[in-house]
Amino acid sequence: MARIALGLEYDGRAFEGWQTQPHRRTVQDTLEDALAVIAARRIETVCAGRTDTGVHASAQVVHFDCDVERADNAWVRGVNAHLPGSIAVRWACRVDDSFHARFSARSRRYRYVLFNSPVRSALFDGKVGWYHAPLDIDAMRAGVAHLRGEHDFSAFRAAECQARSPVRTLTEASVGGRGEWIFFDFEANAFLHHMIRNMVGALVYVGNGRLRSEDIARLLDERDRRRSPPTFSPAGLYLCGVEYPDDWQLPGGGRIIAPLGPMLGPTETP
């Protein structure tokens, strides 16, 4: 029995999230169907981070066990031949059976890409978030600073979240921009359900003046989701990095793949 790790990217618009569902319109179901063709048997996968409906990934990592011999290239080009254009396996490698895509990961990194313009983009429809009124990026940078570190994130936790604890530690929480584009970057060992989209929604309220930057700290202290701004659209959210210990030597392991980076160029930082 061999354990195989894969690196994936996908456009989340066509799927109802990562996790398998009876209707089988998920990333996991679609990937496992393609893997089954190459393996000639049913394959079950485990991912580093479960993405929600409409959320994308530029650097998802999964693993699976298989008792048939296949070349690494078969798990890339062969599987891709049976996947829709909205999912691609970028790399494959054998790993020790102690590797676990979820539990071996040190951290996950997400980026939210927001198009801040009076008129929405047709070319990036469903690929980026959009807000029509001007946003104060300096105010949002001041607001996001309150999110760094260890906090009880109940104010930014979905009601249906099943995590045992609302406490998380954000090792990075930042806002950058380039022209009409605004980037929200977050890194932590784990996130709560809808946590990032809820934080982005609150930061947009800071940017448009409906909240002050220090209100982010107040929301954290109140720990009441009902007092926080609405959840923002999933369209601009990307899982764009999963960091593992160097011992695993995964292709791209821990490397951040910035979504839309070649088209948008580097982010301007303070």
Instruction: List, by residue number, the catalytic residues.
Output: 52
Cα–Cα dist 109/112, whole Å: 10
Chain-centroid distance of CA 232 in Å reads 14
How far lies 110's CA from each of 116, 129, 146, 184, in Å? Answer: 19, 14, 18, 8
Name the residue among 241, 235, 198, 242 with its Cα closest to residue 220: 198
Residue type, 172: E
Paired strand residues for 51? none
CA-based end-to-end distance of the chain: 50
Rounded Cα distance, 240 and 238, in Å: 6
How far is CA 42 from each of CA 10, 65, 164, 193, 228, rounded to the nearest angstrom? 22, 10, 32, 29, 44
Token output for 114:
């927001």
Burial state string for 42-55 with b = 16 or more CB within 10 A and e = fewer than 16: ebebebbbbbbebb
With contact defined as beta carbons under 8 Å apart, do 190 and 171 qualify?
A: no
**Per-residue buried b or exposed e for 195-224, using 16+ beta carbons within 10 Å of the residue's own CB:** bbbbbbbbbbbbbbeebebebbeebbeebe
